[in-house]
């Protein structure tokens, strides 16, 4: 062979490899029985490199935070005439289109199960949930929605999203996240009038 392809000095996608290795190991032996060194070894890397890519061990399952940007942009892009909850529904559509696609349903379900099995991971998820509703609240305020209404709409939207996520993760549930989420949002809205 006249040519040898230039060998990349490092294998690509270090972060993704670490995240995948972590998910696999957590699913196999549980979060607490997996050390950071284990994760790094399975990804062909070291502890140092792990902490260069993730702030801490929990963050490896929550890394990118793309969801917040997605929601904020979709809420901002909703038609000016939309009510707060309609803007939230618009954001759910975007999530179904770009994040919770049918192809990622199985992956999401596994990730969800792993998180549910570990107190530490549930705690981190609770924090991410707060950040998510804070981001939605902010996005609604920027639409001119009054502060309190923004808080309430974001809270109801986050609740609907949690419910929708659980239904969508279930193999028996619907395939299209947007549909499931719009229905959940409608139910939440209806329930809120009964309080």
Residues that bind its own copies (CB under 8 A): 83-85, 122-124, 126-127, 129-130, 146, 148-149, 151-153, 155-156, 159, 163, 187-189, 191-195
Which residues make Cβ contacts (< 8 Å) with residue 31, sequence separation at least 6? 114, 117, 118, 120, 121
CB 42 within 8 A of CB 25: yes
Which residues make Cβ contacts (< 8 Å) with residue 88, sequence separation at least 6? 75, 136, 140, 153, 154, 156, 157, 160, 185
126 makes contact, choosing from its own copies, DNA, none, with CB < 5 to 8 Å by partner type, with its own copies
121 makes contact, choosing from DNA, its own copies, none, with CB < 5 to 8 Å by partner type, with none
Tokens of 163: 């419910």
Q: Considering beta carbons, is residue 66 or 130 the nearer one to its own copies?
A: 130
153 makes contact, choosing from DNA, its own copies, none, with CB < 5 to 8 Å by partner type, with its own copies
- Which positions touch DNA (CB under 7 A)? 6-10, 14, 34-37, 40, 44-49, 51-53, 55-58
């Amino acid at each position: 062979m006249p040519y040898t392809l230039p060998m990349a000095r490092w294998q690509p996608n270090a972060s993704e490899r670490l995240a995948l290795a972590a998910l696999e190991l957590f699913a196999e032996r549980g979060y607490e029985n997996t050390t950071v060194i284990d994760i790094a070894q399975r990804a062909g890397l070291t502890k140092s490199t792990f902490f260069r890519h993730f702030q801490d061990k929990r963050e490896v399952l929550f890394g990118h935070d793309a969801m917040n940007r997605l929601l904020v942009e979709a809420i901002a892009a909703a038609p000016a005439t939309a009510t707060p909850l309609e803007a939230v529904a618009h954001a759910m559509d975007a999530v179904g289109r770009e994040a919770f696609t049918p192809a990622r349903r199985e992956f999401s379900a596994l990730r969800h199960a792993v998180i549910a099995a570990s107190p530490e991971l549930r705690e981190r998820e609770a924090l991410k949930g707060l950040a998510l509703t804070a981001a939605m609240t902010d996005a609604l305020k920027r639409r001119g929605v009054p502060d309190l209404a923004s808080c309430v709409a974001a809270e109801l939207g986050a609740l609907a999203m949690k419910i929708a996520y659980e239904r969508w993760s279930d193999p028996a549930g619907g395939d299209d996240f947007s549909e499931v989420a719009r229905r959940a949002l409608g139910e939440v809205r209806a329930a809120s009038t009964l309080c």
